Structure 1
């Protein structure tokens, strides 16, 4: 396929992160698909920009950044917070009559109607939030041991806090009609934050077919080199003319990669 006509894969990172998890994905997809990691404001190269916690501001940001890139077929992959971002973008382009994704892939994220252990109510103060994140395996124990003057408290925690606020707001605004594009949910076999049995409930959020896949690893399986291989296999099936799963052939089982 001519490089200028390659379909795109937009990738959205998890809370507190940047796009480093997707750095090697282009090698896996090669000339088949253009991988486009999407960096939200307030981190890495965009550290000086205000972070986003409001869904309306998020959709404005995404449309401004990605709107010109929706000129080709594309798919979305989002991990944890990124899955909620991808779901929101898919709903937004459908509402506005813009080109819709060929597939929405949601990794390591509970569907919005299920309570999330990462989003306690009310939201705790910094030290309690840090303790919870360490207990859940989201941050290393070093984050507690270094104290309030450490890098985790000063740099990482503010980003994570705002990202979790955004996640909560996206969950609260996720109502409305289901998507009419196929959805693939991916769960980590050992993920205790977003377990396989609950991730399967994303099937209620689409009328165009649903599939569930499991991979080895915990909540951060996005860092595993095998995930992009799975996605290439799934998405290349569409390029080769395979028919995406239909409502009459919804696959609710899972396969381990």
Structure 2
């Protein structure tokens, strides 16, 4: 393993959050994995520029970064909204005939067609918080409730993006369905994306699908150790299944 290039684990954070949630992941993913957070503009820790709110706008930022991913396998991981971003990018690479991830991993997210309000722009802050909080499933004084209110301005933009990505996901692809292996990670006590919905991801690829459950609530990505350990193991399995090409003599 030490003579091989590490598997690159590109990570997309949940809505409105920055990539700082992945700062300590390298300590837990284990050997042979390079953690590479992907920064989008307009959010916490993001660079300048407007927050993407359309399918085309998102891909205009991401596709150039992944059109030439370099040698060896890589993995895309998305948490919350990041799951839809990772799926969207994987589909776009597939449709463009470009090398896609050897594994797509998603967590803390319902599959496309989740019943979020279609009139997000017309909702008041309190109404939007009620929708985001699962109609009372997330108490306002809980850690999740406090975080949702603090992130509300960017959340509005991200919900607009989520709706656009959801609609695009249901547009048939001329390249046919994905066959990318998929790892779905659910958390045991997540009121925003209950573990029971994880099986709904199976319809989004014809490749093998594995569903795993870890301790935590919606923001279990913060400070979690079991999640990066799980992804690290998945990356090493991916390395064994997609070995480094032999050098040309």
CA contact (8 A) 2:5 2:32 kept: no
**Does 2:109 align with 1:122?**
no
State the TM-score, normalizing by the size of structure 1: 0.81
Distance in 1, matches of 2:228 and 2:126, equals: 35
Q: CA deviation at 1:28?
A: 2.3
Which residue does 2:106 correspond to in 1?
A: 106
Distance 1:2 1:173, change over 3 A: same
For 1:156, the equivalent position in structure 2 comes to 151
Dislocated runs of 4+, deviation >4 Å: 1-4, 138-145
Match of 2:191 in 1: 192
Q: Is the CA contact (8 Å cut-off) linking 2:11 and 2:36 kept in structure 1? A: yes
TM-score, length basis structure 2: 0.83
Partner SS, residue 212 of structure 1: strand
Structure whose residues are more often helix by fraction:
1
Distance 1:5 1:152, change over 3 A: closer
- The CA distance in 1 between the partners of 2:144 and 2:241, in whole Å, is 48
Q: Could you tell which deviates more after superposition, 84-93 or 29-38? A: 29-38
Structure 1 residues 55, 141: CA separation in 2 closer, same or farther (over 3 Å shift)? same
- C-alpha deviations, 1:129-179, integer Å up to 9, x for none? 23444544397569999xxxxx987x7321111011111111111022431
Q: Deviations over 1:169-208 (max 9, x none)?
A: 1111102243111111110111122112211111111111
Partner of residue 81, structure 1 = 81
Higher relative contact order (CA 8 A, sep 6+): 2
1:70–1:99 contact (8 Å) kept in structure 2: no
CA distance in 2, matches of 1:174, 1:194: 19
- Identify unmatched segments of 5+ residues in structure 2: 244-249
Contact 1:11-1:35 within 8 A present in 2 as well: yes
Residues matched between the structures, number: 234
Q: Flag structure 1 segments of 5+ consecutive residues without an equivalent.
A: 146-150, 244-257
Tell me if structure 1 keeps the 8 A contact 2:103–2:238: no
**Structure 1 residues 142 and 227, CA, compared in 2 at 3 Å: closer, same or farther?**
closer
Q: Distance in 2 between matches of 1:85 and 1:174?
A: 11
